[in-house]
Amino acid sequence: EPYHGSDATHMATRAVRETRDGVDGWLINGEKMWTSGMNSATHCALFARTSGEDGAARGITCFLVPADDSGVKAEEYLWTFNMPTDHPRVSFTNVWVPDAAIFGPPEGGLALAQSFVHENRIRQAAGSLGSAVYCIEEAIRYARQRKPFGEDLARNQAIQFPLVELATQCEMLRLLIRKTAWEMDQMPHPEVEKRISDKVSMCNYWANRLCCEAADRAMQVHGGIGYSRHKAFEHIYRHHRRYRITEGTEEIQMRKVAAFLFGYLGPRRAEFANLTYDDVDYRKQSQIRPRSGRQAIETVRAPCAGS
């Protein structure tokens, strides 16, 4: 939303009960940003708060709203780094829909949205990885063919080492994406958020960042022609740069990973629930440490048992 961005639970769009001609329904008012495909859609999936306080996970409901309703208006189509888009800012003014327009469980819309987001994050990660590999391979081929100063450009370590690092990251990321996607297939959608949402976020934010770095490096290796539209790198960079914002910004993704790592969310929550300062008190560790520099030296010099 215009004033809430990544904070979905504080959305200002509201739906209130209203009966018309004996039919129970909802009156919706609010505004949304980046409503994808609105230029050709017949309906839009609109999330609105129907109960609960701002910030509450429960109380958000998804409605399928006809795009041609008189209260639905595309206020503006936004120009972006990736040229004009089909993602407008849309206002909803006194839009009425019947109960039949509710999609998914009433007041459970946030979980519904998260289900889609997790699947799209892993798809984005796979797409970004593929594009990154393409950029790296094109840079490698060009570096082998190009012969400045009478020698392969690829013989320069300034060309080799950055591509080596990118290629290494691609190989490691590919395994994490496949492992995470496989795990997602083994559990119901609601369990993904509870158990492996952090792994999905790891895949997504790292793949999108990696793709931008690979496209940038491919431009650099190709020189001027890489910056031109005769090559795909500038388009790949523009397209995938938005993925570092959409479906949850990098910062939102990293925040999710941190919450799982430190046990504020996810499987480690129980592990950390009763953790006290005494459990990690450095003073307990001092009992097994040498008490002087001399003792430390002698400890290092002492032969290992069995030697």
Q: What is the DSSP letter of 306?
A: T
**pLDDT band at 81; cut points 50, 70, 90:** confident
Please choose, from the candidates 109, 119, 127, 262, the residue with its C-alpha nearest in 3D space to the C-alpha of residue 200.
119
pLDDT at 115: 85
pTM for the full predicted model: 0.82
- Residue 137 host element (H or E): helix 109-145
CATH numbers and ranges of domains, the chain: 8-107 (2.40.110.10), 110-267 (1.20.140.10)
**pLDDT band at 306; cut points 50, 70, 90:** very low
Tell me if residue 93 falls in helix, strand or coil.
strand
pLDDT digit string (tens) for 241-285? 999 998 889 999 999 999 999 999 999 998 888 887 766 655 555
Higher pLDDT, 199 or 84: 199
Q: Residue 305 above 50 pLDDT?
A: no
Is the separation of the CB atoms in 284 and 276 below 8 Å?
no
pLDDT at 6: 83
- Residue 212 host element (H or E): helix 197-222
pLDDT digit string (tens) for 189-219? 889 999 999 999 999 999 999 999 999 999 9
pLDDT digit string (tens) for 36-50? 899 899 999 999 999
265 Cβ partners below 8 Å, 6+ apart? Answer: 197, 256, 259
- C-alpha–C-alpha distance, residues 248 and 7, integer Å: 10
